[in-house]
Amino acid sequence: MPDHTTWLTLLLDYFKETLARNTHVIGQSFVSKKPADWQSFEPITASLLIALFLILLGVYVRARLAKVDEAVVPDDRLTLRTFMEVFLAYFYDLAKGIMGPERAKQYFPVIGTAALFVFFCNLMALLPGFPVATSSLNVTLGCALVVFILFNIYGLAKNGWSYISHMAGPAWYLAWLIFPIELISLCVRPLTLAVRLMLNMAVDHLLLTIFLGLFALFVPLPVMLLGVLVVLIQTLVFTMLTSIYIGLATEPLEHEHGDEEPSGERAHGH
């Protein structure tokens, strides 16, 4: 995608000599193999600013919830607290529907953080002149790799060696065929997460910028409404796939179901 000039670009321009001397920290582009320049720090800086904003937002909302008298009574208007409650409650219900209440509560810190980070990064696409961190493959791939590493760790912690052995399929004589296919499909997950999010947000931000530059103030409103849908849908898709991947990785395997079923029957019998 073509480069855009944002207020963050102008801010980093004051430090471009220092940044240019430290481009070796980033390395070269993974796809085009081009060396990094000082503008390569822009999506990283934008993502760090969003992360800092979320930390401050979390501290503020946590302080409001710590006041028991105020936390019990909901606000009569839309505030940051009510927004966080509604937003996180929606994605908690989504995770609960995918993996059940017990696992949803256990893994929701990761799911909720992913939803908030992707949503606020995407939201910047609706503001011309603002940097969109999720329009960079470096950021989206980083998010997807975090999800990939975590759901594999959760799967190994939950199911042990069975998490790997079940990818060989039910029959040992088909393991040579099924295991490579399952392994490839597993490793492709972070790539599809990253590319889907990056392309949608980059194109959405580019279209909005072009329409705002070509037409008057109120003409781009349909494009902005479409952009709102893109922001919400891409947040939902990324979070839902994260929940599905964690749910699949931590799902008890068949032999564990067999062990749990008799105990459940005994409980009903008593």
Delimit the domains of the chain by residue range: 40-253
Query: What is the pLDDT, as a whole number, of residue 1?
Result: 43
Instruction: Indicate the DSSP class of residue 253.
Output: P
- 3-class state of residue 73 by DSSP: coil
Number of helices followed by number of strands (H, E) in the chain: 11, 0
Query: What is the pLDDT, as a whole number, of residue 216?
Result: 54
Asked if residue 118 lies in contact with residue 143, where contact means CB atoms within 8 angstroms, the answer is yes
Q: What's the average pLDDT block by block, 10 residues per block, for the chain (270 residues)? A: 66 82 72 73 91 94 76 72 91 95 95 96 84 90 95 94 86 86 92 90 76 62 80 94 95 57 39
| Block residue for tokens 């909005």 | 208
Query: What is the pLDDT, as a whole number, of residue 220?
Result: 63
pTM here? 0.83
